[in-house]
Every structure is written in structure tokens, then in C-alpha cells.
Amino acid sequence: MRIVINRFFVASSLAAGMLLVVLLAVSASASAQRSGFHGGGARASAHTSINRPVQRPQGGNVNRGANINRNIDSNRTVNRNVNRNVNVDVNYHDDHWNHWDDHPFATAAAVTAGVAVTSAVIGSIVNSVPPSCVTTVINGMAYQQCGNVWYEPRYAGTTVQYVVINPPR
Amino acid sequence: MSSAIPPVAWSACLMLAALAPVAHGATRVATPVSPPAAPADAPERDPEALAALDRMGAALRALKQFSLTSDASTEIVLEDGQKVELDGVVTYKVRAPNQLFLELRSDRQLRQLFYDGKALSLYSPRLKYYAQVDGLNSTLGELVDDAAARYGIDMPLADMFLWGTDKAPKTAIRGALHIGGGTVDGEAIEQYAFKQDGVDWQLWVSKATALPKKLVITSLDDPALPQYRAHLRWDTRSAVPATAFQFTPPADAARIKLVPVAVVVTDAGQEN
């Protein structure tokens, strides 16, 4: 419920130019959340081995952290959308299958984890970034700069996630 | 949260299964513990099927090196129970005891994993990101556990490194059936079906090599019972070069972090 309300706020507080994109994101989120707690997409996937102890609840293992924090979302939406955009969607996503997919086909593909102290954007996690982003290597590590927003790509399991960070200087 | 129900039901079954022999023992005073005929409600454990597992484990552990290419299909369960199948190819190049190359190629994703006995490298040839971690001084049997437990990397068909070791104990097998003979790829096989915690699985073993030719794993922890099926092609003759296990980052590749599982959880709470 809280999330829905926040989205309303989002839509009403954004500039008109952003509106369409936001609506798209919101509708994607809404469809992803249709069935409630699990978010969207998949709820399970087949185990690919027999004897290895399964530490994950089901299927995908990579977004464990995000799952744990899905309830924290409530504070974040407001701040984030003041700052920017859209790809950093509110939607937590328990996407068991996105670890198969570098271009997720099911959802807006956003996971969120964590709440930043100063800016709600920081710490958000998405599974893809806009194609316009520029790869920048600092101290041997790669970052994605998209306008004034910086993402740190990282592997969580075999999934590449992008974490919104403060500019790495 | 309908998915919470099956595990409970499953553990209830487990408890019943565990209790059944006790009840029998109580009524049959001074009966030896080993039950030649299993109780009617317990799954059959065919000694021949178990012996086939032993042979396969021994054959796998006897391989000093191999290449394994597998067509693999993974069923994904959507929220409403609808199943989607994702197809891919899993390729292993292996040298015992501690060198491995793994490629996971599907319509959705491409990943390569290199393990040279020390460093584990993960690479996405399309995204051009790689990650490296050191200090994993593991045999391959330990690696599949470590990679999963420490880094959330799930290596498919990990059993190839576990069968024939104490990481795949026969005590874990609650049901074992010999289904019968047949052929896979024109090769004579015997088919078996097994039950373990959380999975029912079927195995097609080559009569000539005792290596698995086909594997179907049915996951029981979701009511939709998603399956993983793999069709395995072995090359145990061609030499696997040592360079197969060494990852040299291409010039246009960029390094990123591989987040340890524990840190993923921590980060989620306090990342900034």
C-alpha cells in the first residue's frame, strides 16, 4: 500500500517530461507486483544440481539481499524522484530468473536494497542502465556514469547489478 | 506465499518417513535393524540402482580431465504457476583436482567462469565485465560449495564433482529405482529414478562408460515442480590445455566487484 501511495506522489511531483517514462515504470512495477509479496516475474526455478546444499529459499540466489530489505522501501521514493529518474524504480524485485538475463524480459528489472542517509537514490540497485551511460574506469574498477548519476556495476552471483553510488572521486 | 506450504508438507512427509521405521521396530521386538523389505510406505531403494550410482561416482572420480557439453533446459515458475523454459548450453572443461572452466550460455545470458586452482574469475563476454577473487584453495568438490555459499554462484550439474565423494552420501537417497535399459545418442544406457530431499531425479547412465548421459531434476519445493533437464556429451580423450583455466582480461574488459553473499545482505541494509 505504501508503495502505491508513494508512486502517486512520484507521478504528481515530476516534471511533465518525465511523466511518460515514470508512468511506464510504474505500470511495469504494478504488473510486477500484481501478485503481492513476491514482486513479479518468477517465484521459483528448477534446481540445477542434486547434492549441493541449497542455501537459497528457491530458485535464484543472487538477490537475496534485496529481498530482505524490501520493506524498507517506504521512505525512499519521495527523495529519489526529486533527484531523478525512473530507472531506479521503487520496485523491489525478487527476480529469480533475471540471473539468466542481461536484458530482463519480464519487468522494469529493478531491485532496491538499502536506504541512504543523505539521498534516497544511493544504494538503489537496478539490473540494467540506460544505453547512454558511459563506462568510466577509476582505480581499475569500472563505473557507469549516466548524467550526474553514478552506478557501480557488480556481480551478485552471476548477475550483474548496478548500484547507485556517490560519484567515485 | 503459497510457496511456503510445500516445504511444510514436505517436512511432514519426512517426519512420517522417519517415524515409520521406528514404529515398526517397536512392534517387532529384537528384529535386526536392517530391514530387508522396506516398510510399505517407504520408497524402494533398489540395491542395483544404488550400485549404479557407485559405479558412476567411481567413473567420475577416475577422470583426470574431461570436457562436458550439455544442452540444458531450466523451468522457471511464474507467480501464477505458469512455467517457462529457458534453454542453454553448459560447457565444462576440467582437470582434476582443482582446475575448471565453465561457460553458461543461454538465450538470455552468457557467463564464463575460470578457476585455476587459486583465483576464481567470472566474466561476461557481452557486458565486458569481469570479477576475480583469490584465496579459494579448493578442490572442485569444495569449489562448487564455496562458490555458492560465499558468492552465490550456482554451478549447474555440480554433482559431477560430488558423486563418488562424501558430499553425495548414499544415505541422502530415500528412493532408488531401476527403470530399465535403452539408448541415448545411440549409446546403450540404463535408466534410474531417485528421490532425495527437495528433488526427485532421473538418471540415464552409459553402460559402456558408467558416465551420466542424461539427467532430469524435479524440484519439489515449488508446487509447480519445475524441472531441469540436461543432455550430457562427454569428451574424456581430448587434452584440455592449461590455458583453458586461465583468465586474461581482454583489453576492453573492465573489472567490477563480486559481492560476497554475506556482504550482499549487509549492503542491503546500509549501503551508501
pLDDT by residue (tens digit) across A85-128?
Answer: 333 332 333 333 344 456 544 333 334 433 333 333 688 888 88
* Per-residue pLDDT tens over the stretch B35-62: 555 455 678 999 999 999 999 999 999 9
pLDDT above 80 (res B188)? yes
Q: Average pLDDT over chain A, rounded to whole?
A: 55
Distance from CA of A10 to the nearest CA of B (A): 22
Query: Between B189 and A90, whose confidence is greater?
Result: B189
Render chain B in DSSP notation, one character per residue.
Answer: -GGGHHHHHHHHHHHHHHHHHHHHHHHSTT--SS-SS--TTSPPB-HHHHHHHHHHHHHHHH-SEEEEEEEEEEEEEETTS-EEEEEEEEEEEEETTTEEEEEEEESS-EEEEEE-SS-EEEEETTTTEEEEE------HHHHHHHHHHHH----TTGGGGTTTSTTS-GGG--EEEEEEEEEETTEEEEEEEEEETTEEEEEEEETTT--EEEEEEEE-SSTT--EEEEEEEEE-SSPPPGGGG-----TT-EE-EE--HHHHHHHHHH--
Asked if the Cβ–Cβ distance from B256 to A34 is below 8 Å, we say: no
Question: With contacts defined as CB-CB under 8 Å, which chain B residues touch A61?
Answer: 148, 152, 154, 261
Residues of chain A with C-beta less than 8 angstroms from the C-beta of B214:
none
Q: Chain A residues with CB inside 8 Å of B156's CB?
A: 48-49
Whole-complex ipTM: 0.79
Tens-place pLDDT, residues B223-242: 999 999 999 999 999 999 99
> Does residue A37 register a pLDDT over 80?
no
Alpha-carbon gap: A43 to the closest alpha carbon of chain B (Å): 5
* Chain B residues whose beta carbon lies within 8 Å of the beta carbon of residue A96: 76
- Residue A76, SS3 per DSSP: helix
Interface probe with B: pick from A38, A47, A54, A91, most Cβ of B within 10 Å: A47
Whether B153 sits inside 8 A of A157 (CB atoms) is yes
Question: Rounded to a whole number, what is the distance in Å from the CA of B169 to chain A's nearest CA?
Answer: 9
Contacts of A123 in chain B (CB under 8 A): 267, 271-272
Whether residues B77 and A45 touch (CB distance < 8 A) is answered with: yes
Task: Name the domain count of chain A.
Answer: 1
Structure confidence by residue, pLDDT tens digits, B145-177: 989 989 999 999 999 999 999 999 999 999 999
Q: Which of B131, B145, B217 sits opposite A50 (nearest CB)?
A: B217
Q: Give the structural domain span for A37.
A: 2-165
